Amino acid sequence: MRTQVGIVGAGPAGLLLSHLLALRGIDSVLVEMRSRAYCEARQRAGVLEDGSVRLLREAGVADRLDSQGLEHGGIYLQFAGERHHIDFRELTGGRTVTVYAQTEVVKDLIAKRLASGAAVHFDVTGTEVDELTSDRPVLRFTGADGVRHEISCDAIAGCDGFHGICRAAIPAELLTIRERDYPYAWLGILADVPPSTDELIYAHHHNGFALHSLRSLTVSRLYLQVEPDEQIGNWPDDRIWAELATRLGLPGSGWTLRRGPVLDKGITPMRSFVSAPMRYGRLFLAGDAAHIVPPTGAKGLNLAMADVAVLAPALDSLLHGDPALADAYSDTCLNRVWRSTHFSWWMTTMLHRTPEADEMEAELQLSQLRYVVSSRAAATSLAENYTGYSGPYRRTL
């Protein structure tokens, strides 16, 4: 079998890449180890940068996003018993973010790919990538029907997330890895209750960080900082709601947190990780396969989409004999990746309670928070990064 681009992973990166390539007349085969239903239900991100929304619109996959996405012009930062609004529109000359769940982005992309007859194989096993430094890299997998396939490609895109096989196929001595584990995790819930806020609340509290996000006007998404090795069994729903109410509460203000049935709950570790370069021969890594950030800055999904927006034209040129964009791919992406890695680290360390931190560190965090909400320059920096700072590089389809 033959295709132009073999793609491993049907997360946002792999699906969007497959679609962007199709718009350029390039065919791809996409393989995914999970079922379609699993990919469409996996609870993850919820916030799209301005540029990500524009990209989906230009790519013709934004009908539901435009009708159901909720545009947000700012966030609240809460600490020391006060809630402060950071107004993105005003600070950045009109830029916003859009609340639209990753599950919905994935559903929209899968529907679009399947409607155009694309080769998307779910439930595969035994994925392998080989001959990566040749002009004909090979993708092998066993389909859901048990038949083993070998596909000869012009290039392979490793969009298989942090635990995938593609990064591991690059000789370890060629990779520079930078990583940091944080001494806490997030316990996240999805709740069948209208949000108690008009915009996201990021709360720094003595008991730990809390975040009030949402999925729609009827479904809320909330997170609590917990111990890194915390067991979900220690957190019955009542305990979660009580702790959320404490950390998000504003005594004396009359604000209350609405409670409702918990639809989903889970614990996520917090890590920063960057692996460079994002290319080995004819294998190109994109999204979480190459880098992950702690979720505090809402950047992971947006970085995955930004990578493939750079990769699609680079592969197009490469396949037509011009390697310049493919050669620049890794550096182009890493510039943005490091900006988001720094921003996510900064938001994370400013807002979480560091276990065993001394009073000095606690005062430094509070000083930073007071600075962000009182200085226009500091607030603008947060707003510019949160809504998406793309640096000197222009995105094209």
Residues that bind ligand RFL (CB under 6 A): 8-14, 31-34, 39, 44-47, 102, 124, 127, 159-161, 164-165, 186, 188, 268, 287-288, 295, 298-302, 304
- The residues of the shown chain that bind ligand PHB, judged by CB under 6 A, are 45-47, 200, 213, 221, 295-296, 298
> Which residue number is nearest to ligand PHB in terms of Cβ?
46
Q: How far is the CB of 363 from ligand RFL (least distance, A)?
A: 29
Identity of the residue, 306 or 350, whose beta carbon is nearer to ligand RFL in the bound complex: 306
Tell the smallest beta-carbon distance from residue 342 to ligand PHB (Å). 15
Options 19, 295, 313, 352, the catalytic residue: 295
Catalytic position from the list 202, 223, 280, 329:
202
User: Residue 164 binds which entry of ligand PHB, ligand RFL, none, with Cβ cut-offs from 5 to 8 Å by kind?
Assistant: ligand RFL
Q: Quick one: which H or E segment has residue 82?
A: strand 82-87
3 state SS for the chain: CECCEEEECCCHHHHHHHHHHHHCCCCEEEECCCCHHHHHHCCCCCEEEHHHHHHHHHCCCCHHHHHHCEEECEEEEEECCEEEEEEHHHHHCCCCEEECCHHHHHHHHHHHHHHCCCEEECCCEEEEEECCCCCCCEEEEECCCCCEEEEECCEEEECCCCCCCCHHHCCHHHCEEEEEEEEEEEEEEEECCCCCCCCCEEECCCCCCEEEEECCCCCEEEEEEECCCCCHHHCCHHHHHHHHHHHHCCCCCCCCCCCCCEEEEEEEEEEEEEEECCEECCEEECHHHCEECCHHHCCHHHHHHHHHHHHHHHHHHHHCCCCHHHHHHHHHHHHHHHHHHHHHHHHHHHHCCCCCCCHHHHHHHHHHHHHHHHCHHHHHHHHHHHHCCCCCCCCCC
- Number of residues that this document lists for the chain: 397
Active-site residue among 76, 182, 329, 386?
386
Nearer of residues 7 and 350 to ligand RFL, judged by Cβ: 7
CA-based nearest residue to 22, from 3, 35, 50:
3
As measured in angstroms, the least distance from the Cβ of 114 to ligand PHB is: 26
Min dist. Cβ of residue 358 to ligand RFL (A): 29
202 is catalytic: yes
Tell me if residue 299 is catalytic: yes
Please, which residue, 184 or 329, has the CB nearer to ligand PHB? 184
300 or 313: whose CB is closer to ligand PHB?
Answer: 300
CB of 215 to ligand PHB, least distance (A): 7
Residue 268 interface partner, choices ligand RFL, ligand PHB, none, CB cut-off 5-8 Å depending on type: ligand RFL
Judged by beta carbon, residue 46 or residue 313, the one nearer ligand RFL is: 46
Taking CB within 5 to 8 Å according to partner kind, which of ligand PHB, ligand RFL, none is near residue 51? none
Nearer of residues 201 and 289 to ligand PHB, judged by Cβ: 201
- Which partner from the list ligand PHB, ligand RFL, none does 296 bind, CB cut-off 5 to 8 Å by kind? ligand PHB
294 flagged as catalytic: no
Return phi, psi of residue 225, to 5°.
-70, 130
Name the active-site residue from 121, 291, 299, 352.
299
Burial of 261 (0-12, 13-18, 19+ CB in 10 A): exposed
Task: Say if CB 287 and CB 308 are below 8 A apart.
Answer: yes
Closest approach, Cβ 276 to ligand RFL, in A, equals 16
Please say if 76 is a catalytic residue.
no
Comparison of 230 and 370: residue with beta carbon closer to ligand RFL: 230
What is the closest distance, in whole angstroms, from the C-beta atom of residue 59 to ligand RFL in the complex? Answer: 15
**Residue for token pair 């880098």:** 291
- C-alpha to C-alpha distance for 115 and 263, rounded to whole angstroms: 30
Residues with catalytic annotation? 72, 202, 295, 299, 386
